[in-house]
Amino acid sequence: MGFHSFFRTLHNKHKAGKDLRLNKPQKQQQQQEDQRYQQQQQMPNLSSDAYNYPRPPFHQPRAVLAVYDFEALQFNECSFIKDDILIVSDTSNEWWQATNVRAKKEGLIPSNYVSSDLSQSIVLEAFFDVDRAEAEYKLLVPGVQFGTYILRPCMETNIPYSLSVRAKGVAVKHFRVYFDEAARQFYLSATMRFSSLEQMFTYYQSNTIDGEVGLMEPRSHRVVVPMDLGECEINYAYLTLEQELGRGNFGAVYKGRIGNMPVAVKKSLNENSDKAFLEEVKVMHILAHQRIVRFLGFCHSEPDRRILIVTEYMANGSLLDYLHKPEGRSLQYSHLISIIDQVVKAMVYLEKIKVVHRDLRAANVLVHEDRSVKVADFGLTLISGVDQINVADAFPVRWTAPEVLIHRLRPTTKSDVWSFGILMFEVLTYGQTPYEEYTCEQVRELIKKGDRLVSPCQYGHRCDVEVYNIMESCWNRQPEKRPTFRAISQKIEGNIRKREGVYCATWENNSEN
């Protein structure tokens, strides 16, 4: 989770390309005071009901850079100095709600004193509102080079930032960024101080920080995927396997570590499964989406040379198992719909790049420690135009579309749409097995006759009529008449907006990895 607590829904009325510096502040102190006084008269009272009305659909919270100093005069304002990073959470007025990352204080700021233009400063380009673990994941994905760095909030009270740097091999080094309030200087060590973060970054591009690591460039929000799979291979010596989490016919899943970073490791058990694992690697290394489990690389075990796939570790395990646990059973309806919304965002992405998952179900969705979810397990996945997997291979009957189940046609995105409707049923029934009273062979016959799952309401669970209508539309016998994932996503967003007054999601950016 990031440093900032998102306590309001967001609405950015400034369209793309519009300079946030509305007017350069007056140089004379009296003119500044007059201008600010006039603005403050129009400033809303944070405690009033008028300020807390439901917001329209929002954009993600964003980081901005201070281009001038600002000293708070009112209790609900937030002071900052030039080059401070602030995380804006409400842009519905000329005075924005924001958190000063350096000072760790929150309040209203004048919108014309800050800019979100990444080209203005390498500091803003380098900043990510992430914690240590997420920074490590971002710096260890394939395609990130030695010396790539992330500036992030530090959770320690008197330290404003942390600097995370990709080191040699599979390693990330972290450095505290200190700030001398009186001198207005930043430093990593007391012997070398800088008047700005940009000056500090420039210095360490030519000098090492600790005798080993220097800075090359900020971590891009969109990392270019290496074309050569060899660039995704991890030295097995860097990997430590800890406890086994599960085992199947073809592989075992372990919790492991690369240095201090927890990872999930899927290990092939024999030569026959090595080929399937390699195909999964080929799929996973091209995927980059916030709602898809992050691929970190692969390696070969020693001495047996089995393939191991390394991904980010999702502490709460599979969605199916989580929904069966007390913490999963306690989830409110709104959170269940949120889970469905997160999954459909991943599927919109896969649909766009013409990738067919082929095994979409709750058991193949993983739950993060913050209870967000990501789609995983691409062992059966098909890439459009590439012959990878024989359609006669085993597939999950209860989730499989009739054209594949009965007519043995090649799976398509429309087959995934069918499976998504079944997954919706799983989520809204807290992990109930679809058609649980029937055998797999009986399920085949039911589907062939046109029978479909009933609404979760029939089992005593909440399911709005329009939500069940979405599920039914996924189960149209004719694949071409099923909705696209984009259309499903829009309907789910509409349902959330209708029920809660606003659509609110922090995973909206579907291209960042």
In the chain, list all ranges with CATH 3.30.505.10. 126-204
Does 267 count as an annotated binding residue? yes
Question: In angstroms, how far apart are the furthest CA atoms of the chain?
Answer: 82
Query: Could you tell me the CATH superfamily of domain 229-312?
Result: Phosphorylase Kinase; domain 1 (3.30.200.20)
Q: 393 pLDDT exceeds 60? A: no
Mean pLDDT score, 105-114:
95
Would you say 418 and 488 are in contact if contact means Cβ atoms under 8 Å apart? no
Q: Reading across the β-sheet that carries 114-115, which strands appear in turn?
A: 105-110, 95-100, 85-90, 62-66, 114-115
**What is the mean pLDDT of the segment spanning 87-107?**
93
Nearest of 419, 410, 347 to residue 376 by alpha carbon: 347
The one catalytic residue among 90, 359, 377, 416: 359
Element (H, E) at 489: helix 485-500
- CA-based nearest residue to 452, from 443, 461, 460: 443
pLDDT at residue number 397: 93
Mean pLDDT of 274-294: 89
Angle at 329 between CA 327 and CA 334, to 5 degrees: 100
pLDDT digits (tens, 9 = 90+) for 128-166: 999 999 999 999 988 899 999 999 999 998 999 999 999
How far, in Å, are 211, 243, 435, 510 from residue 471 at the CA level? 58, 38, 15, 23
Contacts of 158 (CB under 8 A, 6+ apart): none
Residue ranges of the chain that CATH labels 1.10.510.10: 319-500
Active site residue 359: yes
Calpha distance 136→147 (Å, rounded): 13
> What per-residue confidence (pLDDT) applies to 88?
94
Reported CATH class of domain 319-500: mainly alpha
> What's the rounded mean pLDDT across residues 474-484?
97
Q: What is the pLDDT confidence band of residue 432, given thresholds at 50, 70 and 90? A: very high
Give pLDDT, residue 274. Answer: 87
| pLDDT for res 43 | 40
Taking the C-alpha atoms of residue 362 and residue 321, their distance in angstroms, rounded to an integer, is 9
Residue 17 in this model has a pLDDT that exceeds 50: no
- Partner residues linked to 162 by β-bridges: 152, 176
Of the two residues 412 and 247, the one the predictor is more confident about is 412
What average pLDDT does this structure show over 410-415?
A: 94
Domain 126-204 falls under CATH 3.30.505.10: yes
Q: Where in the chain is the domain with CATH 3.30.200.20?
A: 229-312
**pLDDT the model gives residue 231:** 82
pTM over 0.85: no
Q: What is the pLDDT of residue 204?
A: 96
DSSP E strands in 37-94: the ranges are 62-66, 85-90
**Portions of the chain given CATH number 2.30.30.40:** 29-120
Given the candidates 2.60.15.10, 2.40.50.180, 2.30.30.40, 2.60.120.340, the CATH classification of the domain at 29-120 is: 2.30.30.40
Tens of pLDDT, residue by residue over 36-87, are 444 444 443 333 332 233 333 334 568 999 999 999 999 999 999 999 999 9
Q: Is 107 or 19 the better-scoring residue by pLDDT?
A: 107
